[in-house]
Amino acid sequence: MTIILKNKHSLKVDEFEFKCCVGKNGISKEKIEGDNKTPEGIFKLEKLYYRSDRLNKPFTKLKTVKINKSMGWCNDIKDNINYNKLVNTKEKRKYEKLYRKDFKYDLMIPIKYNWERKKLGKGSCIFLHLTKNYKPTAGCIALCKKDFLIMLKIINTKTKIKIF
C-alpha cells in the first residue's frame, strides 16, 4: 500500500482522503535542514511512536514505541553518526524533543527520508504527526488525531508514502 499526498492539503490512504498540512514552504526535491519544506519522493515509514501517558496503544500493524522524556530525534548537522536518528536527550547534541508539552507527537511516525544513505544537512525529523489547526509545519505532514487513528488501522510495515 502507498499513502499518497495528493496536494498540500489532502492525504489519500486506501479509499480514505484526509485533510492534512505540510511544510510552510511547500514540497521540494531539494530539501535542506531548516528550510520548512516537505521532501518530495517515495519513502518507507518507520515505527509508530506514541505517548502512553496520554493515550492507550492504538491499533496498528506497525511496531510501536512508547515515547519517554529522554527521547529526541537528532537534527545536528555536525553529528554524522546520529543525524536523523532517535537519540537520548541527556547526551550533548542538537535534537527535536519527542516528549513535548503540546500534543503534536502524541502519535508520530518518522518518514524514512534521508535515511539509509543520509547526507548531513539534507533534512531530518520528517514525521507524520498530529495537528489541531492544520497550520503549516516545519516540513512534516500532519493530520488530526481521528484521521491518524484511522490511518493506523489501514497501514502496515510495508506501507510507503508518495509525496509530490
Decide if pLDDT at 6 tops 90: no
CATH number, domain at 52?
A: 2.40.440.10
Share of the chain above pLDDT 70, in %: 100
As a whole number, mean pLDDT of residues 132-142 equals 98
Q: Does the residue 149 lie in any domain?
A: yes
At residue 71, the pLDDT reads: 98
Give the helix, strand, coil percentages of the chain, each rounded to 5.
5, 35, 60
pLDDT tens digits for 73-112? 999 999 999 999 999 999 999 999 999 999 999 999 999 9
Q: Does the residue 14 lie in any domain?
A: yes
Q: Does the residue 127 lie in any domain?
A: yes
At residue 43, the pLDDT reads: 98
Decide if pLDDT at 65 tops 90: yes
Q: Does the residue 53 lie in any domain?
A: yes
Total number of domains constituting the chain: 1
Q: Does the residue 91 lie in any domain?
A: no
pLDDT tens digits for 22-56? 999 999 999 999 999 999 999 999 999 999 999 99
Decide if pLDDT at 7 tops 90: no
Tell me the pTM: 0.96
Q: Does the residue 88 lie in any domain?
A: no
pLDDT grade, residue 135 (50/70/90)? very high
Full domain range(s) for residue 106: 2-66+102-163
Q: Does the residue 77 lie in any domain?
A: no
Q: Does the residue 89 lie in any domain?
A: no
At residue 117, the pLDDT reads: 93
pLDDT grade, residue 115 (50/70/90)? very high
Q: What is the DSSP string of 62-112?
A: S-EEE--TTEEEE--TT-TTTTTSEEETTSSS-EEESS-SSSTTSEEEEB-
Average confidence score pLDDT of the chain: 97
Give dist(CA 120, CA 99) in Å, integer.
24
Q: Which cell numbers in the block locate residue 34?
A: 531548516
Decide if pLDDT at 113 tops 90: yes
